[in-house]
Amino acid sequence: MSDPKPTILNFINGQYRTGSGKLFDDIDPVTGHRVAQVSEAGRSDVDAAVKAARAALDGPWGKLTLAQRADMLYAIAAAIDRRAKDFLAAEIADTGKPYKLASHLDIPRGAANFRVFADAVRNVPTECFTMTAPDGQPGLNYALRRPKGVIAVVCPWNLPLLLMTWKVAPALACGNTVIVKPSEETPATAALLGEVMNEVGVPPGVYNVVHGFGPGSAGEFLTTHPGVDAITFTGETRTGAAIIKAAADGIKPVSMELGGKNPAIVFADANLDVVAAGLARSVFENTGQVCLGTERVYVERPVFDAVVQKLADAAKALRPGASGDIAANWGPLISREHQQKVLSYYALAREEGAHAVCGGGVPDMPEALRGGAWIEPTVWTGLPQTARVVQEEIFGPCCHVMPFDTEEEALRLAGDTPYGLAASVYTRDINRAHRVASKLKVGVAWVNTWFLRDLRTAFGGSGMSGIGREGGVHSLEFYTELSNVCIKLEGAPA
């Protein structure tokens, strides 16, 4: 993995191996140049990974105690910390993220996820009931948590290490084995984590990685494999729907964290400096490529102009640059293909009659960076609620800002979406904060902030934003099966 232009291999049964498919390119979105080639996994490679995972589940991994597994997760976290520079270099090469963002969020959270779920699995309770049957017979019931089995982990490209370990850590904590299919755009950190697994003594087959695409490639081979017991996916809603259909044949449990068209509601009494800081992050962080990001902003009319100006000023202050530029706080989109998708929405906004307060195109970059997937942060006003730009997820650094006059109107506009992932509310009125947050049909509602996360809390969406919840005990519920043990008590008092 130290070669600046390596071939990134599949990791199966504790060993790196070439796949039976073709090689494909891993492109640096900053420059558009190839940084590596990736070995695509064929059906036989996925079969081998499933067999290895099953053998580890029934063998050495399955024989470890809960405490031993938790200790192993702590060792993985410590090894990620020790190799933070390696993980940072791999993540930046794949995603083009600014150094500041990747070094302060992606890599530290990748390690933290293992610690959080090691602690969670040590402390999660199960049920215990004493009972008396109708005939007077006393009994004792208690629950056991058992691993679900072999878990297919299908990951997105926007936060590759963070969101992959967000699934792998609780799955391993609960005693499962995993096969990870990272995005074809961002394969490096999932592959590198295999070195860490070997380094700390995780048994072969517990953690496996297969590279490739969706239909007709590793994604399809994995999600339709009869040896997989459950599937967890984070990504685009249409892909999630296809995976759910594949899982239906085997009645496999699924956990789906999908897309969003998240609103922010700004009331006139809000602290506008807090609003500006919160919206600047939720709209523009990671170049808008965050499932929790804000694409719809509703502002009470008396402060509408002020909020629009502050948001535009924040966009204009962003500094693009190469990933190694310590001062840069603005990166490219993940690929030229995604750039074209987002630019098509920029063109659609113009056609629909939007006023671009700022942005709306491609920035003029230095010659060395012009091959990258760069795009301007963009703020629109002037569109109706029915406009496609207001209704459809774009997944780019842009938002539409619309005024409202009453709390009821704000709630109606915010709820006018088939998605239900996240929302933000800005107000100094504590009663209004509780009232409005409770009426938003979303998985996460923030008040006067954004992306403030306690990893023990429930995370997920409703509607087209997903199925199930992750975080703390909620993740453990998905990765375990509960079994009830009922003991007949002889001679005990009724």
In whole angstroms, what is the distance from residue 446 CA to residue 412 CA?
Answer: 18
**Candidates 40, 91, 257, 300; catalytic one:** 257
**Candidates 291, 295, 300, 398; catalytic one:** 291
Residue found by looking up tokens 């490096």 in the block? 188
**Does residue 174 have an active-site annotation?**
no
In whole angstroms, what is the distance from residue 391 CA to residue 35 CA?
Answer: 36
Q: Are 344 and 370 in contact (CB under 8 A)?
A: no
In whole angstroms, what is the distance from residue 457 CA to residue 472 CA?
Answer: 6
Most distant CA pair in the chain, distance:
86
Q: Are 53 and 64 in contact (CB under 8 A)?
A: no
Q: Are 34 and 226 in contact (CB under 8 A)?
A: no
> Could you tell me the CA-to-CA distances from 232 to 94, 213, 348 in Å, in that order?
22, 16, 33
In whole angstroms, what is the distance from residue 272 CA to residue 442 CA?
Answer: 24
**Does residue 155 have an active-site annotation?**
no
Residue found by looking up tokens 């600047």 in the block? 280
Residue found by looking up tokens 């729907």 in the block? 241
Q: Cβ contacts of residue 282 below 8 Å, gap of 6+?
A: 262, 264, 290, 292, 293, 294, 424, 450, 451
In whole angstroms, what is the distance from residue 398 CA to residue 406 CA?
Answer: 25
What is the DSSP track for 158-207? Answer: SSHHHHHHHHHHHHHHTT-EEEEE--TT--HHHHHHHHHHHHHTPPTTSE
Residue among 258, 277, 281, 275 nearest 100 (CA): 281
Burial, 157: exposed, middle or buried (Cβ in 10 Å; 0-12, 13-18, 19+)?
buried
In whole angstroms, what is the distance from residue 241 CA to residue 464 CA?
Answer: 9
Q: What angle do CA 176, 45, 74 make, to 5 degrees?
A: 30
**Which residues participate in catalysis according to the annotation?**
257, 291
